[in-house]
Amino acid sequence: MFPIDADAQTDAVADAPRVDDQLCFAVYAASHAFAKVYRPLLAELGLTYPQYLAMLVLWEADDCTVKAIGERLGLDSGTLTPLLKRLEAQGLVSRVRDADDERQVRIRLTPAGQALKPRAAKLPREIGRAIGRPLPEIIQLRQEIVRLRAALEAASA
């Protein structure tokens, strides 16, 4: 064992990164704060946040493959399939084998799933209210986060 130099140890502690100074922690903590705001709003719709994201994809373009939804949301089929099965059990989507390629499963909104869209339309407004910033600032912040994500994905590739 090496003898511990008390001054060196003090300097190391002083130089250690602080959690509150980390960008990654700020993003992580903001994600949790978003979840707290979304939870009661989504409970009114009977959805979890990942289910809401899948429904958003389907409301944009119905009749998608599981693979296409996964690519759009950055989720693998192991995560997405159980989520879609729960949406199917709720009567919001149907899962059907692709007629041209039996390996593909297509996800389609049911009438109940389509009917949920107008009720979900208020969520962005509620989230904007919770953020408490003018819309141009929210748009700018979103653009910065998208650029941040792209840079991190490029760095990890």
Over the chain (157 residues), the average pLDDT of each successive run of 10 is: 53 76 95 95 96 97 94 92 97 90 90 97 94 94 96 94
Q: What is the pTM of this model?
A: 0.83
Sorted by sequence, the CB contacts under 8 Å of residue 63 that are 6+ apart come out as 106, 107, 108
**What is the distance, to the nearest Å, from the Cα of residue 123 to the centroid of all Cα atoms in its chain?**
14
pLDDT at 7: 58
pLDDT at 101: 81
pLDDT at 147: 97
